[in-house]
């Protein structure tokens, strides 16, 4: 199968929303939670954002600041993990789509030309946005 034909098939390993949190006591971050292609260079950033968001929701649900009062009950932790996963999957899906789109550009017979065209479009949008801000 050539690369262009393969790009049209989304491998099962790139599917999102794996549910491992039936009981609310376990979750995943980074590539373990949302595998994506390396073609946008965002994987490590998404994993770090996962860690930050997970810490934020856990701290928000914690009943006290010292280590002896971790959680008042398991429900608080389960709610925190579900809150994290809800935002994580939305963010991961947006980034996974970007990596999938870039994969399609890279493995295109006109890949180099398409990449230049893509970045030229981004540059034009940034210039237009800067012009609007400068005029305001």
| pLDDT tens by residue, 51-74 | 999 999 888 877 666 555 555 566
If one counts the domains in the chain, the total is 1
Q: Give the CA count within 13 Å in the CB-facing half-sphere of 17.
A: 5
Is residue 117 a part of any domain in this protein? no
pLDDT for 3-36, tens place per residue? 445 455 554 445 555 555 566 678 888 877 777 7
Is residue 33 a part of any domain in this protein? yes
State which residues form the domain around 92. Answer: 3-109
As a dihedral over the C-alpha atoms of residue 71, residue 72, residue 74, residue 77, rounded to 10 degrees, the angle is -40
The answer to whether residue 40 scores a pLDDT higher than 60 is yes
Once rounded to an integer, what is the mean pLDDT over residues 115-132?
Answer: 90
Is residue 121 a part of any domain in this protein? no
Is residue 14 a part of any domain in this protein? yes
Q: Are 36 and 95 in contact (CB under 8 A)?
A: yes
Question: What is the reported pTM?
Answer: 0.64
Question: Where residue 123 falls among pLDDT bands split at 50, 70, 90?
Answer: very high
Is residue 134 a part of any domain in this protein? no
Q: Provide the angle, in degrees to the nearest 10, between the axes of the packed helices 111-135 and 74-106.
A: 120
Is residue 132 a part of any domain in this protein? no
Is residue 124 a part of any domain in this protein? no
Question: Where residue 111 falls among pLDDT bands split at 50, 70, 90?
Answer: confident
């Amino acid at each position: 199968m050539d690369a262009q034909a393969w790009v049209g098939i989304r491998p099962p390993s790139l599917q999102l929303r794996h549910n491992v949190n039936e009981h609310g006591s376990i979750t995943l971050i980074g590539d373990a939670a949302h595998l994506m292609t390396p073609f946008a260079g965002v994987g490590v950033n998404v994993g770090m954002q996962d860690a930050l968001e997970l810490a934020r929701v856990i701290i928000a649900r914690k009943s006290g600041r010292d280590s002896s009062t971790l959680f008042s009950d398991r429900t608080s932790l389960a709610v925190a993990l579900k809150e994290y996963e809800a935002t994580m999957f939305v963010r991961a899906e947006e980034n996974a789509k970007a990596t999938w789109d870039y994969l399609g550009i890279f493995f295109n017979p006109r890949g180099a030309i398409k990449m230049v065209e893509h970045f030229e479009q981004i540059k034009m949008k940034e210039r237009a946005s800067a012009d609007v801000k400068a005029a305001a």
